[in-house]
Structures are given as C-alpha cells and as structure tokens.
Amino acid sequence: MKPNGIHREVARRFSKSFFLFSRSSSLRGLTAVICLVFLPVLASPALAGKDPKAKASPKQDWTYKKYLTAFHKSGRDTSLTAAEFARVQARKEAYLNDIRRYLTRKFGWADPRVMKAFQDLPREYFHYEYQDESDFSKTAYEYPPRTYALGWGSALSDYEGQAYMAQLAHPKATDTVLEVGTGSGFNISLLSRMVKDAYSIEIIKPLGGAVSHIFKPLGLKNVHTRVGDGYYGWKEVKGGFDIIMFTCVAQFVPPDMFRQLKPGGRIIIPIGQPFKHNQVLYVYRMDSRKRVHSKKYIPVYFIPMKGTMGAQAVQMGINVQGLKKALRPKDGAAPAPAPSGK
C-alpha cells in the first residue's frame, strides 16, 4: 500500500471508531472537535508522501496559446502552427519512454526526479537558432535523438546525453549548480528543476544575451546566467557549488573549479581534443578532506570550450587543433593535472 493509501486507511478507521464511540456516549461534540483537528493533519502533503517543498511545474497546463505567449515574452518569434504544436505534443510520451529506457540501460534505473524534470520542460520552447533568428520547434521530441545548431558554433545536445549527465550528477534539492556553456538554456533549466540554485555561464555574447531572456517566461526563478569565460567559474557565488557541469569539451579541469567546489561536490566534464572522437566524460569528486578523485565514464562528443582553456592547454604542451601560440594566463594560476582515470 502506498503511503497516502495508508493515511487514508488510518483516517477511515479513526473516523469509524469515533463514530461508534459517539453513538454510545454523550461526547458527540468532543468527537467532532477531534476529527476536525486530526483529519486535516492526515491529509497534509508531508504525511501523504508528497514533498511540500517540491517545485511546481512551470507550465503544467502547457497549451499552444501559452507557448506563443512565453515565446514572445522571451523576445523571439516562432513559426510553429497550432497543428504542428499538437503533433509535437503527441510525440512527447514516446520521448519520455525513450529517456526512461536509456537511463535504465545505463544505470539500472531511471531517477524519478530526472524524469519529472524532462516531463515538466517543454523542449520545443528551446529549439531556436539564435544567429538566424528562426525556430525549429516542430522537431522537438524527435527520434532518434540528435543535436541541433544554435548559431556561432554552439549546439543543443541530444536529450539522451543530457539525461545521462543529469542522472550522473545526482542533483539534490539543496544543491547549488554551475554550468559552463549555457547554449540553448535547456540543460540548466533541467537542472534547475532539481536543485536550489542554478548558475550558467556562456562565452558567446550574442547567444548568452539572448538566452538570458527565456527563463522568466517559463517561471524558472532560480536560474542565473551571465556572459563570460567559464574557465574562471563564478567566484561571486558564496559557498561554492555542489555540482559543476561542463557542456563543452576541455583538455583539463580549470584550477578555479576545484577552488569553487564544495567538499562532497562533483565536476562532470568532457575531456579530450576539440572535434575529435576521443572525448571521454569524467567525474571528479571532492571528498570531505578536499581530496579529489576522478573516474571516466562514457565516450562523448562536445563542441570545444572557448576562451582561456585553449591557450592554457597549448601552454601546457597539449596539442589543440587551430591553436599554435599560447597566451599568457590571466591570473597566473597553474593548470590542473590531466585526469588519472582512477
């Protein structure tokens, strides 16, 4: 029996017992008072197996009209028709089933919180090419999953990869997360559904500026973004981060990331060469004594991390395609060692 079923059964038996008691005594008034006090407590969200602090879905009753309103409030135009919107929504159940099967195959189970976050977010809202200022919303929930260009060399990752990284991060409701590479904004929106605060940095100025306007129309109030070089993290966030996630491939973990990672925190990062198929997803974990442990997971393919990363990698002697001359480090910090794979 489910927890809320147990409480309903207790309430039923409680009411029956007091009804019999009230018939055999003159304490009918006392019975009524006790029932009025006790039964609402049984019906509370906490006792019914629901988390009273759980975030409400941004758009539980998502309709074509609300899609248009949110899209326009974000400063973008859409060509999606009502008929196309209906066809897109008809594909969503299959999309969720595919994510569930994929996570179960990779992890042995699909985290319900990850699944709920995917269910809550209207993916079609994030299908937009910012450089050409055109939407491709009608392709949402596609199968097989694929990546899409966003402009200026940035891309929207496929949903299976996003699901894998989200479950691998094991986000908690009390966590503060940093993402390097805002892109379409979908990934940080997904994480925001499962954590306390979500921060994201985008190095491409026109993309980061435009995407910063898409969160408020969806009711996502715990997402914070800015344009800048993610190599240096977000030092102004007090207390640091429980999760730091890279959505671009790097050659090593920037040293500032370890300084901004909380004990017990984890860094999820693709490591490898730009535009090469030798990239591997790594997780770095910091224990309570601030020792760092790394482990490699699956082969991946991400766009390269721009800015200081490439120059620092060349300075370390790492061959990076398209870069021949290293620049002087901005803060003089020594780069972190390459992953051990342990």
Residue 281 and residue 306: Cα distance in Å, rounded?
18
> What pLDDT score does 12 carry?
47
Helix (H, G, I), strand (E, B) or coil at 181: coil
* Mean local confidence (pLDDT), 61-77: 97
Centroid of chain to Cα 318: 31
* Mean local confidence (pLDDT), 94-103: 98
Q: Is the pLDDT of residue 11 over 50?
A: no
Residue 79 and residue 128: Cα distance in Å, rounded?
11
- Stretch among 48-52, 197-201, 205-209, 225-229 having the lowest mean pLDDT: 48-52
Residue 80 — very low, low, confident or very high, per pLDDT cuts 50/70/90?
A: very high
* Mean local confidence (pLDDT), 314-321: 81
- Helices 159-169 and 82-107 cross at an angle (nearest 10°) of 50
Residue 60 — very low, low, confident or very high, per pLDDT cuts 50/70/90?
A: low
Instruction: Cite the beta strand spans of the chain per DSSP E.
Output: 128-129, 134-135, 148-151, 154-156, 176-180, 197-202, 223-227, 241-246, 261-271, 280-286, 292-299
Judge contact between 209 and 227, C-beta under 8 A.
yes
Judge contact between 157 and 187, C-beta under 8 A.
yes
DSSP code for 238:
T
Residue 124 and residue 50: Cα distance in Å, rounded?
29
CA dist list (Å): 267 to 107, 181, 294, 339: 19, 14, 9, 12
- Residue spans of the domains in the chain: they are 3-42
Phi and psi (nearest 5°) for 37?
-80, -40
Instruction: Cite the beta strand spans of 195-291 per DSSP E.
Output: 197-202, 223-227, 241-246, 261-271, 280-286
* Mean local confidence (pLDDT), 190-201: 98
pTM for the structure as a whole: 0.79
By the 10 Å C-beta count (0-12 exposed, 13-18 middle, 19+ buried), 62 is classed as buried
Helix (H, G, I), strand (E, B) or coil at 295: strand
- Please tell me which residue in 154, 157, 184, 189 is annotated as part of the active site: 157
Six-digit token string for 222:
């715990």
Q: Is the pLDDT of residue 340 over 60?
A: no
Residue 322 — very low, low, confident or very high, per pLDDT cuts 50/70/90?
A: low
> What pLDDT score does 98 carry?
98
> What pLDDT score does 315 carry?
87
Torsion over CA: 241, 246, 252, 254 (sign): negative
Percentage of the chain modeled with pLDDT above 90 = 72
Q: Is the pLDDT of residue 158 over 90?
A: yes
- Stretch among 9-13, 94-98, 200-204, 221-225 having the lowest mean pLDDT: 9-13
Judge contact between 173 and 124, C-beta under 8 A.
no
Residue 127 and residue 55: Cα distance in Å, rounded?
24
* 288 included as an active-site residue: no
- Stretch among 18-32, 129-143, 175-189, 294-308 having the lowest mean pLDDT: 18-32
Residue 158 and residue 229: Cα distance in Å, rounded?
24
Q: Is the pLDDT of residue 337 over 60?
A: no
Helix (H, G, I), strand (E, B) or coil at 241: strand
* Mean local confidence (pLDDT), 203-230: 98
Residue 62 — very low, low, confident or very high, per pLDDT cuts 50/70/90?
A: very high
Q: Is 111 left (phi over 0), alpha (psi -120 to 50) or beta?
A: beta
**Cβ contacts of 86 within 8 Å, gap of 6 or more:** 64
Judge contact between 114 and 194, C-beta under 8 A.
yes
